[in-house]
Chains A and B, each alone.
Chain A
Amino acid sequence: MAHGPAKGLSRWLFTTNHKDIGSMYLWFSFAMFFMGGIFALVIRAELFQPGLQIVEPDFFNQMTTMHGLVMVFGAVMPAFVGLANWMVPMMIGAPDMALPRMNNWSFWILPFAFALLASTLFMEGGAPNFGWTFYAPLSTTYASDTVTFFIFGVHIMGASSIMGAINIIATILNMRAPGMTLMKMPLFVWTWLITAYLLIAVMPVLAGVVTMMLMDIHFGTSFFDAAGGGDPVLFQHVFWFFGHPEVYIMILPAFGIVSAIIPTFARKPLFGYESMVYATASIAFLSFIVWAHHMFTVGIPLTGELVFMYATMLIAVPTGVKVFNWVTTMWKGAMTFETPMLFSIAFVILFTIGGFSGLMLAIAPADFQYHDTYFVVAHFHYVLVPGAIFSITAGVYYWLPKWSGKMYNEVMGKTHFWLAFIGLNVTFFPMHFSGLAGMPRRIPDYNPLWADWNMISSMGAFLFGAAQLLFLYNVVRTILSGKKATDQVWEGAEGLEWTVASPAPYHTFSTPPQVK
């Protein structure tokens, strides 16, 4: 039974091992994170001061679009799938994922999807320039020919996500160790189970909407063309029916990660485990009935507007429960503040701030002033950067010693945290102000009224970007020459993944453990 990985490139090409595939997902995501980050820095460099300095408006639009697409589909989602690959089998005492060959395939089609997407940057007509929300008819009748590459890229990403999600559900439902009942599963496993269902429900909707675009562009249909009897608003309904659950796909696994980390460093069990599970399920359910709050200004009838406003406000309730549970988990603990804990605490604070602005955006009359301004940009970056990016970073610091068998450098980790924390707030907090003061999003040039806020944001963005280089260096240095980590790694850590050696052997739990 004891056999190691194959040698050389074939190990990575043909592997069906959940740990190898998890590592590839994480490295791929890291690369995409830097690519999307460079796009963001082009945006911030152009917006450093009023006037056009560095790029032309059309290229600016390509940058905002590519930044969004690459970060959402290339950085955040694959990182969560990578963490699931590594951790779900080890957390439930399974030897591997349920469908290992499909696992290999769902990873390896991703690089092709992003190669298709990124290749448009070098084509006549340029990359997609209609925003990551690609509203028709700007993305159909009025788009350049390269939009077809974008559509096929999205199809492949969607296929990859759906296969990943099926695999995770099959693994969790079929391969738990004896005694690991559903309500004993770590919260990361629970949140991923629910996320996987969300993915299966909405990725086909995304595939549907881009296919309708493809038909409109190449086969003469008029789904979204008013002149042919179609409806541009239909596009938005279908897109956001995918898009709103999608934003929870990017946050629910994050809830799972911090729910693992905070108890470890508070040395106290997670408070309200059951209510956490129910709150996650409620958020997932609500995510299907709030999509039109992204469309408050399209002219939905009053009744519809009210229903979507009330439903959206409701999301604050289960989200609040989660925050209260985390705070109560910390309460009367015996806390230490290693890097994963710092990122997790920053997650709770900053995600809550993003939640507050989300609640403000839910108030439809006020949304008429907020909608499509930098206030919205501030809101979703406060949710996604501390939410998804910080939790993934926390997870990497938390589990890296288990993966590599080596301990990362704590001083460098904390330095990374503080630079990222300051950079993030300097970048995104002023965007609340420029947005409220009336600056629309997705513009390459602006009135000097908003110049100060933009200059501050741009400086913060470069600081945040530089901090991530330190992260990369720390990770590489740990793997190459870190100090040996213990099997337990963290004093307060509990769960099956800490019962195996560090680094985790190539095959774990070939004989299932008994969970009491």
Chain B
Amino acid sequence: MLSTNTRSLTLLFATSLALSIPALGFADELQFNMTEGVTSVSKEVYGLHMLIFYICCAIGVIVFGAMFYSMFMHRKSRGVEAANFHHSTSLEIVWTAIPFLILILMAIPATTTLKKIYDADDADIDILVTGYQWKWRYEYLGEDVSFFSVLKTPSTQIHNEEDKGKHYLLEVDEPLYIPINKKVRFLVTSSDVIHSWWVPPLAVKRDAIPGYTNAAWTRVEEPGVFRGQCAELCGKDHGFMPIEVHAVSESEFTAWLGKRKEEAAAIREAAKQTLTLEQLLSEGEKVYTKNCAACHQADGKGMPPTFPAIAGSPIADGERPIAEHFNRVLNGGQGMPPFGEQLTPVQAAAVITFQRNAFGNNTGDVVQPIDILKYKQGQ
């Protein structure tokens, strides 16, 4: 019996050691702790995290130390006689009271930090963050600038046909720009299911809930690129809607915002022009790949029954009135999200034209941006 017990205990120790070795060995390359982040709040959060962690370690050393001591010393195989005590009111009071006091001490700094996190008043800039299946939309309130931000990682990398980049699944086509040393408030909401907007280096995580607008804020102190992801399961491509925040100097930010405003004006202007079929098809294919292919697939065959085919669909092949096609793309329906907000008139016209002339849908229809504007006004 002695040998089996000793062996068991030695093994237990050996295992705990073996578990800690890889952690130490990888320390240089591998991240295994929370990021300290780049804001005063994120650093406070990190401090709380380490404080409670050390408290747990200290308690763990005492409790597990007593257990292991007991397991070595109080073994039947050592010939010990079992004691018979089984009650001590004073001990019970002591080990109820001490943890209680530790918790009170812990609650004080936690409360202070929580109050800071909740103080979203007096912001310098307001950004409306809207979650969509499966992308983010950013709107600079009062600035007439808004855009969608979509995963940039090519599907060839996801399907292992190409090496994965450093920022695999953490890169977007249109990053969010914010100025440093300004209080930026994020007003977070959703247009479909619940998402959660999380950027670890900012220690900001807020659920994006349809019907709610949640406020969070940050004040970044150093320029840099900070990455995050959607943190709430939101359907098929939950793992594929990253966040990329570029914190830049105020002058750089102003220049960027100015350029964005010009682009917005150009889009309004472009909606008035008439495009050729070729222009529409080439633009439409791009829009399709970015917005439609995730569900309806690159070949237009979809994934029935959840995601119906566009090839041969009565809505797209001319069997039903074209207005139904406009309605489905712009307003969504049958589980499909609306795209009227996120596509420019040119893009909407192009993608509808493309869908009506690709995948064997040879309607020959040409839809112009002005048609989209008219349809929207008519609603």
Instruction: Write the residues of chain A forming the contact surface with B, with a CB cutoff of 8 angstroms.
Output: 50-53, 57-58, 61, 124-125, 129-131, 135, 137-138, 141-142, 144, 226-227, 230-233, 266-275, 297-299, 302, 305-306, 309-310, 313-314, 316-317, 320-321, 323-324, 327-337, 342, 345, 348-349, 352-353, 356-357, 359-360, 363-366, 368-369, 371-373, 414, 418, 421-422, 425-426, 429, 432-433, 436-438, 440-449, 452-453, 456, 492
Contact = CB atoms under 8 A, between A and B. Distances in A.
A345 B67 contact: yes
A444 B63 contact: no
Contacts of B193: 135, 137-138, 141-142
Interface string B66-83: 110011001111001111
Contact of B207 (A298, A333, A445): A298
**For B19, B85, B86, which residue has the most chain A Cβ atoms within 10 angstroms?**
B86
Given A359-B52, A440-B230, A442-B238, A50 B164 contact: yes
B67 A330 contact: yes
Contacts of A266: 74, 82
18 contacts: A57-B238, A58-B236, A138-B234, A232-B209, A271-B87, A272-B91, A297-B206, A317-B96, A331-B83, A332-B83, A335-B71, A365-B44, A368-B45, A368-B204, A421-B12, A437-B33, A442-B238, A453-B30
A252 to B, nearest CB: 19
A302 B158 contact: no
A138 B335 CA distance: 11
A444 B215 CA distance: 29
A414 B66 CA distance: 23
B194 A135 contact: yes
Q: Rank and list the top 10 A-B pairs by shortest CB-CB distance, nearest first.
A: A226-B211, A443-B239, A433-B32, A299-B214, A356-B56, A332-B83, A437-B31, A334-B82, A269-B86, A267-B82
Contacts of B96: 317, 320-321
Contacts of B11: 418
B32 A436 contact: yes
Interface string B1-12: 100110011011
A468 B237 CA distance: 33
A363 B83 CA distance: 40
Nearest to A282: B96
B117 interface: yes
Nearest to B67: A327
Interface in B252-276: none
A131 B44 CA distance: 32
Interface in B109-136: 110-111, 113-115, 117-118, 133
B348 interface: no
B325 to A, nearest CB: 23
A232 B110 contact: no
A514 to B, nearest CB: 23
Contacts of A442: 233, 238-239
Given A299-B214, A337-B9, 15 more contacts: A51-B159, A61-B238, A302-B115, A305-B114, A309-B107, A329-B86, A331-B66, A345-B71, A359-B52, A363-B48, A368-B45, A369-B49, A440-B229, A445-B158, A453-B32
A426 B11 CA distance: 15
Nearest to B64: A349
Indicate the member of A52, A125, A313, A444 with the most B CB atoms within 10 Å.
A313
Contact of A61 (B75, B194, B236): B236
Nearest to A271: B86
Contacts of A440: 198, 229-231, 239
A286 B157 CA distance: 48
A297 B215 CA distance: 11
Contacts of A329: 86
A348 B67 CA distance: 10
B209 A317 contact: no
A349 B15 CA distance: 14
A433 B32 CA distance: 4
A76 to B, nearest CB: 22
A298 B196 CA distance: 9
Interface residues of B, number: 106
A360 B5 CA distance: 34
B99 A320 contact: yes
A449 B71 contact: no
A298 B71 CA distance: 45
B88 A272 contact: yes
B142 to A, nearest CB: 23
B140 interface: no
Given A50-B164, A365-B44, A438-B200, A271 B52 contact: no
B224 interface: no
B70 A331 contact: yes
B158 A342 contact: no
A429 B20 CA distance: 10
A279 to B, nearest CB: 9
Nearest to A137: B193
B235 interface: yes
B232 interface: yes
B363 interface: no
A327 B56 contact: no
B375 interface: no
A266 B76 CA distance: 8
Contacts of A335: 70-71, 74-76
B194 A232 contact: yes
Given A226-B210, A297-B206, A272 B92 contact: yes
A227 B206 CA distance: 21
Interface stretch (B166-174, B176-184, B277-285, B314-322): B166-174
A360 B53 CA distance: 7
A306 B19 CA distance: 36
A62 to B, nearest CB: 10
A414 B302 CA distance: 52
B379 interface: no
A135 to B, nearest CB: 6
B336 to A, nearest CB: 11
Contact of A372 (B76, B215, B231): B231
B167 to A, nearest CB: 7
B212 interface: yes
A426 B209 contact: no
Contacts of B118: 302, 305
B305 interface: yes
